Amino acid sequence: MRLSICLLAFSALAGLLPQQSADAADAAKRPNILFAISDDQSFPHTSAYGCEWVKTPGFDRVAREGLLFMNCYTPNAKCAPSRSAVVTGRNSWQLEEAGNHVCFFPEKFVTYCEGLTQHTDYFVGCTGKGVAPVTAKGRNLTGKTFSKATQKPPAAAISNNDYATNFEQFLDARKDEEKPFCFWFGATEPHRAYEYGAGVSKGGKSTDQIEKVPGFWPDTDVVRNDMLDYAFEIEHFDRHLQRMIEALERRGELENTLIVVTSDNGMPFPRCKGAEYEYSNHMPLAIMWPAGIKNPGRKIDDYVSFIDFAPTFLELAGVTAEKIGMQPVQGKSLSPIFRSEKSGRVVPERNYVLLGQERHDVGRPGDVGYPIRSIIQDDLLYMRNMKNDRWPMCDPVTGYLNTDGSPTKTQILNMRRQGEETLFWELCFGKRGEEELYNIAKDPECLHNLIDDEKYRAQADQLQKKLFAELKKQEDPRMSGQGEVFDNYPYANPGQRNFYRRFLEGDVNERSAGWVNPSDFEPKPVE
């Protein structure tokens, strides 16, 4: 409150003072920015969205004292390309090599964190996972790292980074507390691996709290435990978020801090992370900013994309992309939503969102990717699988490397091999048609492909036309016959380049990749 009065006084004087002081008045209004991003968390899994088996008081507070977004999407559901979209404000098909996972991050794409560091008086820093995994030698893509403080993790495979203490050390390192800050909090939870059974043994959860297991996995004890172990890691991220909010409150800085809480891609389970369905790209999002968001507590139905974060931050910091050396941004600032008092649909133009992917993890002949482009509008998800002769989650003989190893994955693979059930395998790992269409309002699990239903053909055609027209405007190489550039960019980790060929030649083995179970490698090719 004290800060607001001070700002009002500044603003009132601004018209009467010489230019330098007017600039100082504007500078005083620029908010601090705290961007909190978990690693691999799907949309439904916070208590604010009604999930019973994940408790997220930190996220819920941000939503209650700010805005809860019901339709936020990452354009690309894999760590590196999703984060690259956040820091550049551009879709992954506009990012050259950075459209791929494990890339050499191009020099030309200056991030908002670098731009604010180099061209403004913002104090910029980060802790935990930034834009990763990518190679960007000599650059701090998300600002200077603060990671000295550690703590004993609550379960094996949870990071020992004491994120919240590192945030406070960042705040303490500011020489001038009058200058705004911009901080990136990148938790490595709930990324795998997990301590099996920790959700029950350490989180006090029980498998019967899960009201429903998604229909693309078997409803077994193994899968339910895997889900609870994931939940336990989300709660770890949330505890650090709560501590950061409390620290800001204690320091009297909560009022003018924009806090954005989201994740980078869907849960690390089959048919989620690395795919392009609701559980893959639909992200949790809550934003608070007491000094700048009107009528807090609203729920927003507008479609929002990760490319909208950077332009929001730039606008509030009082700079343009050009001014701080960034390439032009594709996204649009969210500030009209902040300034509105409305709930539901606020900005009419925000009525659709575009998704896409290229190469994620390797595991196909020639290190090619699995190109997809999609559009979501009017409750429909229209998807175009552009090379649907390829294996979506990478080749079976190299263990479907684009799906992280997990008890759930291994159980689904075993069910097919043992002739018990093939439906889950087909949904999670099988080849797909060229087009898919889902009614995500009625079928958020994307189980019922409507593409062959004549009732929907006209709508599907309209969506396809709009998708391609938008992609052409955005100069997507896939729209001009140049799509193979994405397949030809080198995978930045030489140890995994040409994994498929080297596996067949005996150069690497089932243990070499390191992120799937050795038994996930199919002993024989799958037809």
Tokens representing 167? Answer: 């945030």
For 507, residues 6+ apart whose C-beta sits below 8 A from its C-beta are: none
Question: Of the ranges 13-21, 32-40, 44-52, 167-175, which one interacts with Ca ion (CB under 5 A)?
Answer: 32-40
Report the length, in residues, of the chain: 527
3-state helix, strand, coil in the chain (%, to 5): 35, 15, 50
CA atoms within 13 A on the CB side of 430: 12
Closest separation in Å from C-beta 414 to Ca ion: 26
Residues 238-297, interacting with Ca ion (CB under 5 A) = 264-265
Applying CB under 5 A, the site for Ca ion has a residue count of: 5
Q: Which residue is nearest to Ca ion (CB)?
A: 79
Using CB under 5 A as the binding rule, whether residue 229 contacts Ca ion is answered as no
Minimum CB distance to Ca ion smaller for 42 or for 120:
42
Looking at the Cβ atoms of 31 and 75, the one nearer to Ca ion is 75
Q: How far is the CB of 273 from Ca ion (least distance, A)?
A: 7
Smallest gap from residue 241 Cβ to Ca ion (A) = 17
Query: CB 40 → Ca ion: shortest distance, Å?
Result: 4
What are the DSSP E strand ranges found in 276-419? 282-288, 298-300, 304-305, 352-357, 372-377, 380-385
CB of residue 189 to Ca ion, shortest distance in Å:
10
φ, ψ for residue 84, nearest 5 deg:
-65, -35
Distance of alpha carbon 91 from alpha carbon 81, whole angstroms: 9
Print burial letters for 221-242: b (CB count within 10 Å at least 16), e (below 16): ebbbbbbbbbbbbbbbbbebbb
Give CA–CA dist 365/363, Å, rounded: 7
Decide whether 32 or 265 has the Cβ nearer to Ca ion: 265
- Smallest separation, CB 210 to Ca ion (Å): 22
User: Nearer Cβ to Ca ion, position 257 or 263?
Assistant: 263
Is residue 346 near Ca ion by the rule CB under 5 A? Answer: no
Check: CB of residue 330 under 8 Å from CB of residue 356. no
Q: Which C-beta is closer to Ca ion: that of 76 or that of 312?
A: 76
Minimal distance in Å, beta carbon 78 to Ca ion?
A: 7
Among residues 100 and 117, whose Cβ is nearest to Ca ion?
A: 100
We find the least distance from the C-beta atom of residue 451 to Ca ion, in angstroms, to be 29
CB–CB of 393/402 below 8 Å?
yes
Alpha carbon distance 32, 21 (integer Å): 20
Binding mask 128-147 for Ca ion (x = CB under 5 A): --------------------
CB 395 within 8 A of CB 431: no
User: Using CB under 5 A as the criterion, what x/- string covers residues 155-194 for binding Ca ion?
Assistant: ----------------------------------------
Q: Does 39 bind Ca ion (CB under 5 A)?
A: yes
- Smallest gap from residue 419 Cβ to Ca ion (A): 34
The answer to whether residue 40 forms part of the interface with Ca ion (CB under 5 A) is yes
Q: What are the tokens at 491?
A: 């995978």
For Ca ion, give the closer residue by CB, 80 or 437: 80
Q: 236 vs 298, which CB is nearer to Ca ion?
A: 236
Q: Which is nearer to Ca ion, 40 or 367 (CB)?
A: 40
CB of 30 within 8 A of CB of 253? no
SS3 92: helix
d(CA 473, CA 522): 42
Q: Which of residues 68-97 bind Ca ion (CB under 5 A)?
A: 79
- Burial, 349: exposed, middle or buried (Cβ in 10 Å; 0-12, 13-18, 19+)? exposed
Binding residues (CB under 5 A) for Ca ion: these are: 39-40, 79, 264-265
